[in-house]
Structure 1
Amino acid sequence: MNGATGGRQGDWNRRRFAGAAMGVAALTVLPSPAAPPTAPSREPSPASGAAASPEPSAAGSPPGTPGAPQPSGSSGSPEPSGARPLFLGTYTSVDGGGSGIGLASYDPGTGRITRTGVLGGVADPSFLAVHPDGRTLYAVDERSSGAVTAIRLADRAILGRRATGGAGPCHVSVHPTGRWLLSANYGSGSVAVHPIDAKGRLGERTDLVTHTSPAPGPGQQGPHAHQFVTSPDGGHVLAVDLGTDTVYSYRLDGAAGTLTEVARARTRAGAGPRHLAFHPGGRYAYLADEVDDTFAVCAYDPDGGRLTIGAPQPTGTGGGGGVTNYPAQFLVSSDGAHAYLAGRGRNTLTRFAVEAAGARLRAAESVPVQGDFPRHIAFSPDERLLFAANQRSGTVSVFHVDRATGELELAGEPFASPVAVCALPL
């Protein structure tokens, strides 16, 4: 860990190796808007239109890019007829971890997963995202010298690697325009922007913003950016910071790739917000608070980018037997009727009925995930399957989703995948 983040190394290691920063529904009562923000620190922005990575060589690494990883170990079995691709994130630097991005396929009817290989040359790919055009995969390198890697899916060639400017990037997303990659550096509490060219390659970073205020919450040694996503209308990008108990809203300059903070919303002290998921209507979002084991329904103003966080609510149905749930993330169906919350402490998926046009969540049921520590959940493109990556058991559970009722049914035995921390079905 570099000097800027060395004091927070304990926080980061707990996240990576223990799997968590250890530390029913009612109508939402929305608080008053937060005070005007204090400008965060930022590095000087390079000129817009920075050159992107050059074309890859035949071996898959872009010439002239020092230390570019190679697509070693990318060969594997062809996908069965009718099967869909599945990419699996892991840690390569922990005991029992994987050796790269896991390559698999799944049957969209049965949910059965078949291993097809490993894409090597990518260290600690703990989170994955795909470009809107479906041609390029992006992976974080969650190490102290954080980076993001672009991979062309047609031949699994690595197109290049770019530094995120911070430590421990744990989340990455692609702006809906397909022109910008957004990454969150957990270890250093910063967010970064990289340009994406027409071939999916990454250019030099156009902005880096560190969350220097407010002060860290109880038990936190500094800021910990955990997620960086775009609002449904594409007008703003939002960064969820577990360390400062704050969600920051930025306006992204579509030409220069620079960020301007326009609002911020604070949870109660010590909540530890982790991940945010928007209702498709664009006026509400659901925030999972990892540390205090709650969630909140948030109102969202798309005009100003302001998020207003509602009252904290319990994360599941029934009693937890004294076990903290460590909620990981929400997943919302595209019709806006159902929301799902992964709970890593009780190893459950809780289904909520979405009511009042997104303003209210009603807990309907909690089902066992059949694994240990479900860190990431994702739908198949048709939303008939839900995948859960279980970090501690090293498995991926698959559930059939009843599109009408939202009910979940386990689709066979979980699939073994070393230190499974992300599952991305295409």
Structure 2
Amino acid sequence: MSRYYFYVGSWQSPRNPDAIRGITIGTYENGKLIPIKRVHEDVNVSMLTYDGKRKVLYTSNELPLTDKGPGGRANAYKADLETGDLEEISNISSFGKMPSFVAYDPLGDFLVLTNHSMGNVILKTVQDKNGEFHLVNEYDETAAVLYELNEDGQIVRACDIVKHTGHGGRPGQTNPHMHSVRFTPDGKYVFICDKGNDGYYVYRLDRGNKKLVLADRLDSVPGAAPRYSALHPVLPIIYFNNESARLLTAARYGEDGKLEKLGDWSTTWEDVDDESEAGQSDLMISEDGRFLYNIIRADNMISVFETDPESGEPKLIQMTEAAGTGQERDLCFSPDGKYLFMSAVADGNVYRYTIGEDGKLSDKELALEDIAPGAMIFIKAD
């Protein structure tokens, strides 16, 4: 029987300023999470990703500044699969405030990190071509960073940075806020959700020149605030959820990276005021692509979709209660696919759901307490 470690990154947010930080290490045995220790307590983890070949765990360290300077950090840790321990091998600037997500290149050459940034405003005076003076607001930059990795998995340097512009129509959309990034399985394209300017972006990874090249952009429903994405493992289809709208968006992507929107689907059976904040957070797809799981924080629910095997279109099949805190953040499948774990930041706990043959969730149980979970991952030890 294979052995697995779990790693839970603790996340301290403005809503939970007293929450712990760091990474909790433990073992996974017969559906149970058994904690061992907490390490690297200076790291505020917003996302985790893993290079199984080189045994390196990467984190986005979500901070506006650190003792190393302004902005957050990208960290890399070598995993000791005998003990589960993590040795830091890289600690580099995120080149922006509040890094929100990090994704590992399937071919092992690069890492991509998104910075959410903040809504800080600087008031400046500018002079136009006619000599007239005006006041303008300037906001923090929002950038995605392409990092080069060496043969040991260390983060060598930032080799490209792309920046977004524009804004949406809601109060929190005064400037761009990149929230997540995903690679296609072949490593050819990168998808980025920007909840500040209502954009679903596709970038082509130019490996030779070590650049991210814009391939396409698809607009969301106005004010929807795209947050996370999930790629179908078989079909060339990507799903997006939206932080400010109870909608699941699906699109087909072509060999050229162009997006063809398939539609928007409600993530709830209830009639909800379109102006109310949805607070959707994580979105995950099962390994076989049959089922999608989506958190709606404002409703304290997880919505479950079944996908059509040919078209990929999602059908809502279940809504089940989440943790009840209003700040559920992360979903993670168990290595055996039997369970779905949910991280609830506000109450500090991780919960476990049993996944049925029909994809539906049942038997919610408390799995870990008091660790302010922001992201979770399993790593095979043998």
Shorter chain as denominator, the TM-score bin is: 0.7 to 0.9
Written as runs of structure 1 = structure 2, the 5 A alignment for 1:171-190 is: 171-187=101-117, 188-190=141-143
C-alpha distance in structure 1 between counterparts of 2:45 and 2:89, whole Å: 15
Between 1:377-386 and 1:307-316, the stretch displaced more is 307-316
Find the counterpart in structure 1 of residue 92 from structure 2.
162
- 1:102 counterpart letter in structure 2: T
On the 8 A contact 1:394/1:419 being kept in 2, the answer is yes
Q: Deviations over 1:218-249 (max 9, x none)?
A: 32110000011112332211111000101121
Find the counterpart in structure 1 of residue 73 from structure 2.
147
On the 8 A contact 1:341/1:351 being kept in 2, the answer is yes
Identify which of 349, 352, 361 aligns with 2:314.
361
C-alpha distance in structure 2 between counterparts of 1:318 and 1:217, whole Å: 25
On the 8 A contact 1:112/1:412 being kept in 2, the answer is no
Alpha-carbon distance change, 83 to 397 in structure 1, aligned in 2, over 3 angstroms: farther
On the 8 A contact 2:21/2:45 being kept in 1, the answer is no
Identity %: 23
Find the counterpart in structure 2 of residue 409 from structure 1.
362
- 1:408 counterpart letter in structure 2: L
Find the counterpart in structure 2 of residue 349 from structure 1.
302
C-alpha distance in structure 2 between counterparts of 1:134 and 1:369, whole Å: 35
Written as runs of structure 1 = structure 2, the 5 A alignment for 1:71-110 is: 84-92=4-12, 94-107=16-29, 109=30
- Larger RCO: 1 or 2 (CA < 8 Å, sep 6+): 1
Written as runs of structure 1 = structure 2, the 5 A alignment for 1:208-287 is: 208-212=161-165, 214-219=166-171, 220-287=173-240
C-alpha distance in structure 2 between counterparts of 1:97 and 1:315, whole Å: 30
Deviation of 1:174 after TM superposition, in Å, equals 0.1
Find the counterpart in structure 1 of residue 260 from structure 2.
308
C-alpha distance in structure 2 between counterparts of 1:326 and 1:358, whole Å: 28
Q: Deviations over 1:319-378 (max 9, x none)?
A: 569974421132111212111111212222211111152431111111112352221101
Identify which of 134, 158, 165 aligns with 1:205.
158
Alpha-carbon distance change, 142 to 175 in structure 1, aligned in 2, over 3 angstroms: same
Deviation of 1:282 after TM superposition, in Å, equals 3.4
- Give yes or no for the alignment of 1:421 onto 2:374: yes
Find the counterpart in structure 2 of residue 123 from structure 1.
43
On the 8 A contact 2:332/2:377 being kept in 1, the answer is yes
Which sections of structure 1, spanning at least 5 residues, go unmatched? 1-80
Deviation of 1:258 after TM superposition, in Å, equals 1.1
Alpha-carbon distance change, 388 to 358 in structure 1, aligned in 2, over 3 angstroms: farther
Alpha-carbon distance change, 92 to 391 in structure 1, aligned in 2, over 3 angstroms: closer
**Which of the two has greater strand per residue?**
2
Find the counterpart in structure 1 of residue 339 from structure 2.
385
C-alpha distance in structure 1 between counterparts of 2:57 and 2:359, whole Å: 29
TM-score scaled to structure 1, two decimals? 0.75
- 1:97 counterpart letter in structure 2: A
On the 8 A contact 2:181/2:191 being kept in 1, the answer is yes
Q: Deviations over 1:230-286 (max 9, x none)?
A: 123322111110001011211112234211111111112111000111111232111
On the 8 A contact 2:9/2:21 being kept in 1, the answer is no
On the 8 A contact 1:231/1:282 being kept in 2, the answer is no
Find the counterpart in structure 2 of residue 317 from structure 1.
269
- Give yes or no for the alignment of 1:112 onto 2:32: yes
TM-score scaled to structure 2, two decimals? 0.83
- 2:48 counterpart letter in structure 1: L
Q: Deviations over 1:179-198 (max 9, x none)?
A: 11110000032100111112
On the 8 A contact 1:267/1:309 being kept in 2, the answer is no
- 1:249 counterpart letter in structure 2: V
Alpha-carbon distance change, 298 to 143 in structure 1, aligned in 2, over 3 angstroms: same
C-alpha distance in structure 2 between counterparts of 1:320 and 1:346, whole Å: 10
